[in-house]
Structure 1
């Protein structure tokens, strides 16, 4: 570093030098906690560190290597490949000859494809490399099962606002940080809340805010932070968790929660048409015949979102979500359809009864196709008396147990089953 080189970013300057300086992760690093006990034993196995951005995955990996006196090789799966892994193994072989262990830290391990992850297996299994992988994605989906079975997964948690505020106070008092800068308490409170548990983002914003005002004010924090976009990986677990939360809130008729999760998805950059398709699914699955208009409205919202685009079309999605949340609920058709599919997949492919078969030709009619079929409008009672399922098949698939329109139709369904000679459940 020369006189003219810029200083390292604040987050880098304040990187913890010991485990005692690590903020958060008390479930792993407190007295008697799992990682503390492992490091005390000096027998460190391979790990996958799974957690949101800015919680110290890289820092923790470096400190773990230092605790067990291991050589530390850091790679990023964004730019590294099998060649880099091969070079790391060569270096590890050389150091093993001197009695030194090697830890390979692979940041964003989920970006390695299956073949690249498989290239790590023999070296991890032999103990040549102790692997510490870091990922923001669920390892269950993104890391090969064979590699997961050889590496213990540690879940890192987002920092609490209290953790972040303490880190900000340290930054203003530590000689490596901003010791000559002051901040209003309200500014630190605001930044601790906006950071969403991301220490790196909090420190970076503090550093920018320190150039805008002295002391740092809430207005300076807001300007330095920029627009607050909710964290969401559009292809990762968070995305599907948000969709799940939206669907379950609609199902439970919680209007405010439904709107909140929809807003989180839209503000996080989710594809409006994907969200619209899921809303259509909600209408069919959870409202069903309790309110037949729900599906029409959901489809109309989907068309509007496609026609107008975002943000104008997002209002139609909000309208649909509110309607579906308020609507009476029924999953009777959803349940009946699953049962019908199961009956078909697990049963025999029995022949269609002759009287139900299509008979467009004389030859077919001569074989009995369509014979003795009772046309409902000519012979209602005969129509009800004939069989509509293959011989010997008895099914009980649809059971109207929902609200709204379906509840009103339940009595008609009971009478229809009686007319068909079927005994409705419970009679």
Structure 2
């Protein structure tokens, strides 16, 4: 009976490295957007503070120039000084931890320091309650232009200004200088100024959210494509593919190639369902993939139930034969453990050969990184002419491994397309004894 453990993660999950759920991605994007908007607000608040200070200086200078009375000049200077000090305090707070934590409050403070504070000061000093609609509109337009985020804060600042004036009007009950139609007209202009500011900020922020989301989705897609590319090609080859459109082909003087075939798997395919068969094969090859990564070996491809890997390319290292030998021995052990866990009796036949190869990328739509040369053919023959449950190596590989590994001479065998060849069976590491 075939017994399967809990299903492995799918190949796609492995390729894109555990893709986050949609709700979590959306939460992360919202958090990232708010952080970006927070930094944007602090920068723009500092800019707005500087502009308001400069604008205040020009307005104070105008009133000093146009007011013919010394007392009036002093009172105008007093109001301007109070407002400028208030704006300067807001600007200083922008650079502190308070400003970093409460930028919304500084935003409202900057607005009301010009609209409400000026209105209150004029009422107290001059006993004048004419609505300063021109000044209010300038303030609202300035904030909507310089800081087109947080439309609710814009609305609150506008409503707060109107409420402040209505409270002053209720307390003082002044006699207005102009007919009621004048104030209705000014109020209509103010209403549409406020409405346009809030709507424009709302639309701008929605657009920025969409742009931010699109850029994040593009970034995630690029990261996933990068991971996908790195799972298909070695990192060096992936970089070459991104940077050049010419044929990628390289010669390597000496590498070690491994072919492995699961004995009995083809026969099993006639007795079990395709889904279970593929799941078994996937679990086995996932184990081999982990071993390849651990030993610094490049997986080249799988062909049915055969597995091909190479050490020593694309980045050359002189212990390529050792890396392949260690991987081959670990593949035997991994399959033994797999059989015990899944109530199976698979055996693996492995062939290894060392020598020169040519490696490159072929294909038009479905690219593949592959190897060519006599070394590849010899490794394939070492596997196909090998013994089930054994690792067969050629004479060249034997010469590189004989000092560190236990190898048994198999003798001369007839190899298709090669004639007679001396072969050896890799039994284990000398330091560990026989690993089988």
TM-score band w.r.t. shorter chain: under 0.3
Superposition TM-score, scaled by structure 1 size:
0.21
Greater helix fraction, Structure 1 or Structure 2: 2
Structure number with bigger Rg: 2
TM-score, normalisation: structure 2: 0.21
Structure richer in strand, relative to its length: 2
